[in-house]
Structure 1
Amino acid sequence: MPYHIVLLILFAALLHASWNALLRGGADRLWSMTIMCVAVAIASALIAVFLAAPAPASGFYAVLSAVLHVGYNLFLVRSYKVGDLGQTYPISRGSSPILITLAASVFAGETVTASALLGIALVSGGIISLALHKRRFAAPSLPYALGTGVFIAAYSVTDGIGARLSGAPLAYTVWMCALWGVLMPLVYIGLRGARDLFSLRPGFSTAFLGGLVSLLAYAIIIYAMSYAPMGAVSALRETSVLFAALIGYFFLGEALTPRKFLACAVIATGTFLIG
């Protein structure tokens, strides 16, 4: 994998961990996530005006991915409601690279080298080990965290295929994100009503900024998946858990133990093998 792609993905990982920490720290995470999606929709629509439309062959994948992203949002918010960032985030992110590698092999005909496959396994294993608490997982958050990982794998492979068919990864990204950014507020309005969504409350600017950060991070990932195997890109992206562990320690009062440092070393080894 080209070094500039590796560096871009690691930058996206830092951005990804940052917006997840913003979401985890909010009082009403469903509202915060939806405001983030509003920001994504507005920014995507503005950018789309200046870009040629993606190839029609990618349209189905953009719509499917937007729906999958809404499912991901709902599962992510629920997992954060019943678990802390240091456990739910590693489970959801750590399970996805292996799932993406398998799905990309089946649906996109991708193959990876033995060293890259070992690297993906090390990254996933190291990430999931970060979620262990007294040698066990917290049962209440486990189904939602794993469900989040399944949604991540589903939309990642969908976007990897869609971006390649589009002929224009950036245009595909903003069209898909605009659809997603509209669907999520509609779901929120169906659950709580429009007045609740658009009422100004503390945290609005933080959530809005988080949406812009998430858009940039995912645009980088879709670009990378257009030129590199999806599983390897996903594994490198999920090094965001290293940043999440540090953010959780310094800003959210979560523990950072020697076991977590060991897991981080395993993840770093896997990252080296992939890169």
Structure 2
Amino acid sequence: MPFDVFLQVLLAAVFHAAWNFGARRVSGNVGVIWFGQFVGSLICLPFAIARMSAETSLLDLAWICLPTGILHAVYFWMLAQAYRHGDISLVYPIARGTGVAGTAVLAFFLLGEQLSLTGFSGILTICAGILLLGLSGKNVQANNRGIVMALCTGAAIAGYSLVDKRAVGQINPVVYGVGLWLISAVLFAPAALWKYPNEVRDALKNKKRYILLVGSGSVGTYLVILFAFQRANVSYVAAVREFAVVIGAALGFIVLKERFTAAKAWGIAAIVLGLVLVKAA
């Protein structure tokens, strides 16, 4: 994996963990997540317009972005539900770990990606570390619903990662990213307005800074990942960005005072080792 791409994905992981932590701080407020998608899209919209090819019509762009827009809407919905029923140190690692494993398997069968032994070992080590982080302690029995939602979130991550890897080979990542976020926000709207109207009002009235954090953080972070998809295997990119799990766990321990255990320490060590192996692949 090219060193500059590796650093690029690590940086994206830090910002990814930050906006996820913001979402957790508002208990997965649906309004914050929904408005955040619009805000992030609008921030990047001028850059997307400047890079849009004259040969690409809005209808063509909509068709290209629709599959990933649907998957991202599912992802955000499941993530919000998972944060309602589980601690960030439980939900976040399970969701991301499922995404890593699912991406590697699907990329092999559907995209024909070949992994080196070192790279494959790194991905397995990262997944093992994520499991140690997420499944240690007593929270597992107490948050079964949160775990189910986290697994569904991971499945959505694997799905949109593969779709996006193919798409950025056809269209500029900025144009594609803004398109997918706008479509995701539109598809997310009925659920947000119908099921959680009070949260939507509360977000707009009292949580504007979290809207900005989640919106700019999620869109900006994923644009970096889309550019990385152009230059590296989707399996490796998906694995390296899980450095965010370490950051998320650290924020949970330091800020939220969640319990630190030996198993979680081993989990962090395994993820770091896995990152080294993937970088060497």
Q: With the length of structure 2 as denominator, give the TM-score of the two structures.
A: 0.90
Amino acid at match of 2:106: A
Structure 2 residue 124 is matched with structure 1 residue 121: yes
8 Å CA contact retained: 2:31, 2:201: no
| CA deviation after TM superposition for structure 1 residue 27, in Å | 4.6
Compared CA separation, residues 119 and 58, structure 1 to 2 (3 A)? farther
> CA offsets per residue over residues 79-131 of structure 1, 9 Å max, x none?
11111000010000011111101111222221111110110010011012101
Amino acid at match of 1:72: Y
| CA deviation after TM superposition for structure 1 residue 184, in Å | 2.3
Could you tell me which residue of structure 2 aligns to residue 105 of structure 1?
108
| CA deviation after TM superposition for structure 1 residue 202, in Å | 1.9
Listed as ranges, the matches of 1:252-267 within 5 Å are: 252-267=256-271
For structure 1, which segment, 54-63 or 42-51, has the greater mean C-alpha deviation from structure 2 after superposition? 54-63
Amino acid at match of 2:156: F
Q: CA RMSD in A?
A: 2.1
8 Å CA contact retained: 1:17, 1:240: yes
| CA deviation after TM superposition for structure 1 residue 75, in Å | 0.7
Q: How many residues align?
A: 273
Structure 2 residue 21 is matched with structure 1 residue 15: no
Compared CA separation, residues 136 and 86, structure 1 to 2 (3 A)? closer
Q: Structure 2 residue aligned with 1:144, among 141, 144, 149?
A: 149
8 Å CA contact retained: 1:72, 1:148: yes
Amino acid at match of 2:170: L
| CA deviation after TM superposition for structure 1 residue 209, in Å | 2.4
Listed as ranges, the matches of 1:175-214 within 5 Å are: 175-193=179-197, 197-198=200-201, 200-214=204-218
Partners of 1:135 and 1:188 lie apart in 2 by 32
| CA deviation after TM superposition for structure 1 residue 203, in Å | 1.7
| CA deviation after TM superposition for structure 1 residue 185, in Å | 3.0
Could you tell me which residue of structure 2 aligns to residue 40 of structure 1?
40
8 Å CA contact retained: 2:28, 2:80: no
Compared CA separation, residues 115 and 59, structure 1 to 2 (3 A)? farther
| CA deviation after TM superposition for structure 1 residue 55, in Å | 5.4
8 Å CA contact retained: 1:58, 1:162: no
For structure 1, which segment, 110-119 or 135-144, has the greater mean C-alpha deviation from structure 2 after superposition? 135-144
SS at structure 1 position matched to 2:50:
coil
| CA deviation after TM superposition for structure 1 residue 259, in Å | 2.1
SS at structure 2 position matched to 1:146:
helix
Partners of 1:97 and 1:266 lie apart in 2 by 14
8 Å CA contact retained: 2:173, 2:226: yes
Amino acid at match of 2:152: G
Moved over 4 A (4+): 54-59
Could you tell me which residue of structure 2 aligns to residue 80 of structure 1?
83
For structure 1, which segment, 257-266 or 180-189, has the greater mean C-alpha deviation from structure 2 after superposition? 180-189
Amino acid at match of 2:160: Y
8 Å CA contact retained: 1:169, 1:222: yes
Partners of 2:9 and 2:190 lie apart in 1 by 31
Partners of 2:56 and 2:242 lie apart in 1 by 29
For structure 1, which segment, 52-61 or 22-31, has the greater mean C-alpha deviation from structure 2 after superposition? 52-61
> CA offsets per residue over residues 61-89 of structure 1, 9 Å max, x none?
41100111111111111111111000010
Amino acid at match of 1:89: Y
8 Å CA contact retained: 2:32, 2:200: no
Q: With the length of structure 1 as denominator, give the TM-score of the two structures.
A: 0.92
Percent of residue pairs identical: 26
| CA deviation after TM superposition for structure 1 residue 4, in Å | 0.4
Amino acid at match of 2:36: M
| CA deviation after TM superposition for structure 1 residue 59, in Å | 5.1
Partners of 1:28 and 1:169 lie apart in 2 by 27
Structure 1 unaligned regions, length at least 5: none
Structure 2 residue 66 is matched with structure 1 residue 63: yes
Amino acid at match of 2:192: Y
Structure 2 residue 239 is matched with structure 1 residue 226: no
Structure 2 unaligned regions, length at least 5: none
SS at structure 1 position matched to 2:51:
coil
Could you tell me which residue of structure 2 aligns to residue 237 of structure 1?
241
Compared CA separation, residues 20 and 136, structure 1 to 2 (3 A)? closer
Compared CA separation, residues 51 and 128, structure 1 to 2 (3 A)? same
| CA deviation after TM superposition for structure 1 residue 161, in Å | 0.8
